[in-house]
């Protein structure tokens, strides 16, 4: 197993993944819902070093957390954390860099991920969780920035093939794309649980404005706004019950999209003392665990 020493921030510009040194760590917390109220308890620091440990994503059964770690300023690999046993296992060990591990919907033992290849192409790959069977998922697309699965054969993708990023619906069969937006959107996107809808961030036009979460229905190509994020927030995650979570100044906020009377952001945890600032989040499929990515200094 490779030792983790230092991990930088992934910034994507053009076709290059440019690393700038940052310290980020991953935390696991319990989520408890009782009498309509949400509590977030028992923060556990999963990583504790000067590396870049980031992009957490739960396994389908919630027993494992997949993430990225970079031991230097040039190369990253995929890792697995066994939540019950508290054991870390390295999945990839390559000269290239791998990012954004996600369970593949149609395969029980496979992950998808973005690989930054030696010639700097960024393509979507797949791998068995034991580290074997690597292969292309998008062999002809060389500029995948961020992505999420919408169904077994379709992803939402942040593409970099041009001067302006493009938000796309990309169909694995027959390997073709529909352009949804050209510029003006953020990196964070997610399938809305229990639906076939894609949610994504539309960036505010004003410097001090609020970014918003929109939904896209690929059956009729309809797009509509869902909610506004707090000022300065670009990252969010979904719970299985229609609740949206984000981090803002060391606090976890929750927005219940199923509350038709008075939906609004509600503080569910103040983590300023024991965790500090964090931005990326991921929740498991049962809604009782949430992973956070903390950072020092300015937000990555």
- CB within 8 Å of 21: residues ≥ 6 apart: 6, 8, 9, 52, 73
pLDDT at residue 250 in the model: 96
Question: Residue 162 — left, alpha, or beta (φ > 0 → left; ψ -120 to 50 → alpha)?
Answer: left
Of 33, 6, 42, 9, the residue nearest 275 (C-alpha): 42
Domain 8-295 has CATH 2.40.160.10: no
User: What digits encode the pLDDT tens for the residues 68-125?
Assistant: 999 776 789 999 999 999 999 999 999 999 999 999 999 999 999 999 998 889 999 9
Domain ranges of the chain: 8-295
Strand partners, 278: 294
What pTM, to 2 d.p., does this model score?
0.90
Of 8, 3, 40, the residue nearest 23 (C-alpha): 8
The average confidence (pLDDT) of the chain is 90
Q: Does the pLDDT value for residue 229 go beyond 80? A: yes
Residue whose structure tokens are 């609004």:
264
Read off the pLDDT band of 262 (50, 70, 90): confident
Strands 176-182 and 185-191, how do they pair?
A: unpaired
Contacts for 153-157: CB closer than 8 Å, 24+ residues apart: 153/106, 154/218, 155/124, 156/180, 156/189, 156/191, 156/198, 156/200, 156/216
């Amino acid at each position: 197993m490779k030792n983790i020493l230092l991990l930088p921030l992934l910034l994507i510009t053009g076709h290059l993944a440019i690393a700038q040194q940052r310290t980020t760590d991953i935390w696991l917390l319990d989520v408890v819902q009782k009498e309509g109220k949400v509590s977030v308890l028992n923060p556990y620091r999963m990583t504790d070093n000067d590396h870049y440990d980031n992009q957490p994503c739960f396994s389908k059964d919630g027993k494992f957390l997949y993430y990225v770690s970079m031991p230097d300023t040039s190369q990253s690999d995929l890792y697995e954390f066994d939540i019950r046993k508290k054991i870390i296992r390295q999945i990839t060990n390559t000269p290239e860099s791998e990012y954004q591990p996600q369970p593949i919907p149609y395969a029980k033992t496979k992950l998808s991920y973005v690989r930054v290849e030696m010639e700097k192409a960024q393509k979507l790959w797949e791998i068995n969780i034991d580290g074997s069977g690597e292969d292309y998922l998008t062999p002809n697309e060389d500029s995948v920035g961020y992505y999420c699965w919408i169904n077994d054969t379709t992803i939402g993708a942040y593409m970099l093939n041009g001067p302006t990023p493009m938000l796309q619906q990309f169909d694995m069969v027959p390997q073709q794309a529909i352009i949804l937006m050209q510029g003006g959107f953020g990196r964070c996107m997610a399938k809305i649980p229990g639906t076939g809808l894609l949610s994504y961030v539309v960036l505010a036009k004003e410097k001090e404005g609020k970014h918003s979460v929109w939904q896209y229905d690929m059956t009729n190509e309809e797009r509509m706004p869902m909610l506004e994020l707090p000022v300065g927030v670009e990252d969010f995650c979904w719970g299985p019950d229609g609740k949206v979570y984000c981090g803002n100044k060391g606090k976890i906020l929750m927005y219940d999209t199923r509350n038709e009377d008075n939906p609004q952001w509600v503080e569910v945890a103040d983590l300023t003392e024991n965790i500090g600032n964090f931005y990326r989040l991921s929740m498991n499929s049962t809604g009782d665990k949430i992973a956070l990515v903390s950072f020092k200094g300015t937000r990555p």
